[in-house]
Amino acid sequence: CKILRCNSEYVAATLHLRGPDRGAAFCTALRSYSLCTRRTARTCRGDLAFHSAVHGIEDLMIQNNCSKEGPTAPPRPRPPARNPHGFESLDICDYERSFLYKHGRPPAFQHCAAFGDPHIRTFHDDFHTCRVEGSWPLLDNEYLFVQATSSPVAKGSNATVTSKLTIIFKNMKECIDQKVYQAELDNVPAAFQDGSVNGGARPGGSSLAIRERSPGRHVEIRADYIGTTIAVRQAGRQLSFSIRTAEEVARAFTEEQDLQLCVGGCPHSQRMSRSPRGRGRVPAEMARALCREMLPVEDVYFQSCVFDVVTSGDTNFTMAAHGALEDARLFLPNAEKLHIFQ
């Protein structure tokens, strides 16, 4: 089945096409793509990628008002199959490019965050406030392991905050050596535990890199080989974690890896109401006024901010919720899902 060749020829023909004037050339590329799939139909009958491509072409032709009859372009000459390092000329450590090559479309992405009390926004846009004390896995899959360690926000309080984050980027073939990143309160380093700032000496080592966005307060880790970006922040006396990752990566786990707060949220026994009872350390109305300055929309980020400021007495928690919202604004594939109302 030669469907990957059809996909790569279509991607090569359309990569440079941009803007409103791409119409005729784009339709020509789609007709060529369709012709290529028809030529390989007999050998690809049982191939899911083939059927996905055929349906995708039909949808794109309708969306772009392309006629099925018209000129087609000759296929581009294929690049050499291998580069000096001994693998395909396509960079296998660039997940987005590789996915586009294989499937003829960009990958889908998901977002998860943990901040404040901690509050968890799952990959499925569920939102929980947890009392989880000790160490809990946020992610545990084939590519990543992320563990958050929580401790009480204040003496005698049921509420907890993340005081330590451990992120393990698992060894991946030609791309990276296994790397461990660890952040603790007042220690948010811009390097992995071994002192490096990338994925090591392998050919794709640069596909994993750390960038300091605010010294000691905010780092960004880009793992292009798995289509993933992670933000780690400190605001006040808490750490926060945000991730944008390819859907395929987020789902790459077994039944044994069933406890992941980013996937299933907090266990029912660990969930808390965001309506603090009893006397707080800051009056609720004062907390609402402080949070409204940073978060004008009264969504779950605003509610979380109020809860955290009332419970802890620490006004820096307004920055924790604001930072989580800003990460969501950058990371969410669908901007309409930015605000959650409960």
Is the model's pLDDT at 149 over the cut of 90? Answer: yes
Mean pLDDT of 139-166: 86
Listed in sequence order, the residues at least 6 apart from 77 whose beta carbon sits closer than 8 Å to its beta carbon are none
The pLDDT of residue 88 is: 45
Is the model's pLDDT at 140 over the cut of 90? Answer: yes
Mean pLDDT of 289-295: 96
Highest mean pLDDT among 74-78, 217-221, 256-260: 217-221
Mean pLDDT of 312-321: 91
The pLDDT of residue 84 is: 42
HEC string of 22-68 equals HHHHHHHHHHHHHHHHHHCCCCCCCCHHHHHHHHHHHHHHHHCCCCC
CB 206 within 8 A of CB 198: yes
The span from the CA of 163 to the CA of 184, in Å, is 6
Is the model's pLDDT at 78 over the cut of 60? Answer: no
- Which is more confident, 223 or 85? 223
The pLDDT of residue 166 is: 97
- The tens digit of pLDDT for each residue in 181-225 reads 999 999 999 999 999 999 998 889 999 999 999 999 999 999 999
Query: Which region among 7-11, 12-16, 41-45 has the lowest average model confidence (pLDDT)?
Result: 12-16
Calculate the average pLDDT of the chain: 87
The span from the CA of 295 to the CA of 25, in Å, is 45
109-270 belongs to CATH 3.40.50.300: no
Parse the chain into domains and list their residue ranges: 2-64, 109-270
CB 153 within 8 A of CB 160: yes
The pLDDT of residue 159 is: 67
The pLDDT of residue 81 is: 42
CB 95 within 8 A of CB 123: no
